[in-house]
Copies of this chain bind each other. A is one copy, B any other.
């Protein structure tokens, strides 16, 4: 999920919809509710949306973007700004919050971690009007089920507050999805830390790099999200009432907490890379000391043995019977002296306290 945008051709006019080729056809689910009750149904024909009763709050959940005609028709029916429709369809957009006259358009990216550990971040776009909320999902995800259940049950201010509260509840649900991912990455990093400190493996660093990459990715998705929520709070959108703002501030705090966790995990990773590098250097140093020790003792001794193996007719001491004992004595003395010198330099013995 790197930088890849199903972008309209360069120079295309704004509002051009670049529908990804593998998009499923849109499933439209209509929810109309007020304090008294909730009515839910799937909408087969988009024209049904043209004649909605005005007294209830309308939530149109569009799942799948594979039919331009339908999307354009929804855009017309709810007077959605062409750029807002473009944001909804041309995925992935940067998370953002924009006010178009009397509609607040919020783009949310929902991080998911796949079976194989890759992260992707499908997009959900919210178009919030005075009495309706439209959500565009790339494909039919199950993100919204818990909120739908709360809506049916009518718990809390769910049905008494306007569509802004519904939008908040949905966005909060999506932001919550960051937690398990950040926790997974954080735990992976902690396991890698134990591994690096206790018994580093050849591919430890590559694994740290993989986790770091996912954190960079998560940051790239999540930081604009936090900013978008901050902007929504700061700009005092007329479509978000004061009671809902209090809740949104809580969501913002969650987003900020998530980004701080991402950042401190990344810093931990940077520290781990340094630790690992130093471990490798230290192990190389250990290996070198062993080699130097063995070679420095035996290479000179070998030379000495070689000298007495030469075929010169006259080599001093060759014929004395005590020579071998003297030779052994000299050798032991040399070896002992070098060991003493190595020990003095601290190259012998463990240094771990």
| A177 adjacent to chain B (CB < 8 Å) | yes
Residues of B within 8 A of A146 (CB): 9-12
Residues of B within 8 A of A310 (CB): 305, 308-309, 311, 324, 327
Are the C-beta atoms of B314 and A321 separated by less than 8 Å?
yes
A-B contact pairs, 8 of them (CB 8 A): A94-B256, A220-B261, A288-B288, A294-B295, A295-B299, A298-B303, A303-B305, A314-B324
Q: Is the interface of A mostly helix, strand, loop or mixed?
A: helix
- Chain A interface size, as a band, is 35 or more
Task: Determine the distance from Cα of A288 to Cα of B282 in the docked complex, in whole angstroms.
Answer: 13
Interface residue ranges, A against B (CB under 8 Å): 2-5, 7, 9-15, 81-83, 86-87, 93-94, 96, 98, 100, 145-147, 150, 155-156, 158, 169, 172-173, 176-177, 179, 182-183, 186-187, 190, 197, 199-203, 205-206, 209, 212-213, 216-217, 219-220, 223-224, 246-247, 249-250, 253, 256-257, 260-261, 264-265, 267-268, 271-285, 287-292, 294-296, 298-303, 305-321, 323-324, 327, 346-347, 350-353
- A202 CB to nearest B CB, Å: 5
Are the C-beta atoms of B158 and A13 separated by less than 8 Å?
yes
Task: Determine the distance from Cα of A200 to Cα of B278 in the docked complex, in whole angstroms.
Answer: 13
Task: Determine the distance from Cα of A212 to Cα of B347 in the docked complex, in whole angstroms.
Answer: 29
- A138 CB to nearest B CB, Å: 17
Residues of B within 8 A of A300 (CB): 294, 298
Residues of B within 8 A of A219 (CB): 264
Task: Determine the distance from Cα of A294 to Cα of B334 in the docked complex, in whole angstroms.
Answer: 13
Are the C-beta atoms of B311 and A302 separated by less than 8 Å?
no
- Assuming A156-B13, A216-B268, is B205 touching A275 (CB within 8 A)? yes
- A197 CB to nearest B CB, Å: 5
Residues of B within 8 A of A290 (CB): 292, 296
Task: Determine the distance from Cα of A96 to Cα of B285 in the docked complex, in whole angstroms.
Answer: 49
Q: Considering only CB atoms, which chain B residue lies closest to A143 in the complex?
A: B11
Task: Determine the distance from Cα of A285 to Cα of B280 in the docked complex, in whole angstroms.
Answer: 7
Are the C-beta atoms of B83 and A177 separated by less than 8 Å?
no
One of B261, B275, B283, B327 near A209 (C-beta < 8 A): B275
Are the C-beta atoms of B305 and A295 separated by less than 8 Å?
no
Task: Determine the distance from Cα of A278 to Cα of B200 in the docked complex, in whole angstroms.
Answer: 13
Are the C-beta atoms of B287 and A169 separated by less than 8 Å?
no
